[in-house]
Amino acid sequence: MKITIFGTGYVGLVTGACLADVGHEVLCMDVDEGKIERLKNGQIPIYEPGLAGIVSHTVEAGRLSFTTNVEEAVAHGVLQFIAVGTPPDEDGSADLQYVTAVARSIGQFMDGYKVVIDKSTVPVGTADKVRAAVQAELDRRGLDHDFDVVSNPEFLKEGAAIQDFMKPDRIVVGTDSEKAAELLQEVYYPFNRSRDRMVFMDIRSAELTKYAANAMLATKISFMNEIANLAERLGADVEAVRQGIGSDPRIGYHFIYPGCGYGGSCFPKDVQALARTASGVGYDAKLLNAVESVNYAQKHVLFDKVSHYFQGNLDGKVVALWGLAFKPNTDDMREASSRTLMEDLWKAGAKVQAFDPEAMEETQRIYGDRDDLVLCGTKEQALKGADVLVICTEWKEFRSPDFELVASALREPVVFDGRNLYEPEMLDRYDLIYYAIGRGTNQFSQV
Ligand SMILES: NC(=O)c1ccc[n+]([C@@H]2O[C@H](COP(=O)([O-])OP(=O)(O)OC[C@H]3O[C@@H](n4cnc5c(N)ncnc54)[C@H](O)[C@@H]3O)[C@@H](O)[C@H]2O)c1
Ligand SMILES: O=c1ccn([C@@H]2O[C@H](COP(=O)(O)OP(=O)(O)O[C@H]3O[C@H](CO)[C@@H](O)[C@H](O)[C@H]3O)[C@@H](O)[C@H]2O)c(=O)[nH]1
Counting ligand 2 atoms within 8 A of each CB, the residue from 216, 260, 267 with the most, and so the one to mutate, is 267
Q: Average pLDDT, whole number, for the chain?
A: 96
Which stretch of DSSP H or E encloses residue 115?
strand 114-118
208 pLDDT above the threshold of 70 = yes
Q: ipTM value, please give it.
A: 0.98
Closest by alpha carbon to 21, among 81, 76, 73, 61? 61
| DSSP letter (8 states) at residue 190 | G
* Ligand 1 atom nearest to CA at 269: 43
Pairwise CA distance, residues 104 & 133, whole Å: 5
Pairwise CA distance, residues 120 & 207, whole Å: 10
Confidence at residue 92, expressed as pLDDT on a 0 to 100 scale: 86
* Ligand 1 atom nearest to CA at 46: 20
Residue nearest to ligand 2 atom 19, measured at CA: 157
> Identical fold at 2-200 and 221-435?
yes
Q: How confident is the model at residue 445 (pLDDT cuts 50, 70, 90)?
A: low
Residues in the chain: 447
Residue nearest to ligand 2 atom 29, measured at CA: 157
* Ligand 1 atom nearest to CA at 121: 41
Closest by alpha carbon to 199, among 179, 170, 175? 170
Indicate if ligand 1 lies below 6 Å from the C-beta of 107.
Answer: no
- Please enumerate in sequence order all residues whose Cβ is within 8 A of that of 236, keeping only pairs 6 or more positions apart, or say none: 230
Indicate if ligand 2 lies below 6 Å from the C-beta of 156.
Answer: yes
pLDDT tens string 379-428: 999 999 999 999 999 999 999 999 999 999 999 999 999 999 999 999 99
pLDDT tens string 350-370: 999 999 999 999 999 999 999
The bound ligand whose nearest atom lies closest to the alpha carbon of 259 is 2
Confidence at residue 441, expressed as pLDDT on a 0 to 100 scale: 59
Q: How confident is the model at residue 446 (pLDDT cuts 50, 70, 90)?
A: low
Q: Which of 18, 260, 266, 392 is catalytic?
A: 266
Confidence at residue 193, expressed as pLDDT on a 0 to 100 scale: 85
* Ligand 1 atom nearest to CA at 35: 39
Domain 2-200 of CATH type 3.40.50.970 = no
Indicate if 376 belongs to the active site. no
Rounded to the nearest whole angstrom, what is the distance from the C-alpha of residue 121 to the centroid of ligand 1? 9
Domain 221-435 of CATH type 3.40.50.720 = yes
Rounded to the nearest whole angstrom, what is the distance from the C-alpha of residue 6 to the centroid of ligand 1? 9
Indicate if ligand 2 lies below 6 Å from the C-beta of 219.
Answer: no
121 pLDDT above the threshold of 90 = yes
Closest by alpha carbon to 58, among 83, 8, 30, 23? 23
167 pLDDT above the threshold of 70 = yes
Domain boundaries, the chain: 2-200, 221-435
Q: How confident is the model at residue 106 (pLDDT cuts 50, 70, 90)?
A: very high
Rounded to the nearest whole angstrom, what is the distance from the C-alpha of residue 262 to the centroid of ligand 2? 7
Indicate if ligand 2 lies below 6 Å from the C-beta of 260.
Answer: no
Among the residue ranges 18-22, 191-195, 353-357, 391-395, the one predicted with the least confidence is 191-195
Beta bridge partners of 94: 88
Q: Is 357 exposed, middle or buried (0-12, 13-18, 19+ CB in 10 A)?
A: buried
Indicate if ligand 2 lies below 6 Å from the C-beta of 10.
Answer: no
Q: Find the mean pLDDT for residues 171-186.
A: 98
Indicate if ligand 1 lies below 6 Å from the C-beta of 211.
Answer: no
pLDDT tens string 296-324: 999 999 999 999 999 999 999 999 999 99
Indicate if ligand 1 lies below 6 Å from the C-beta of 8.
Answer: yes
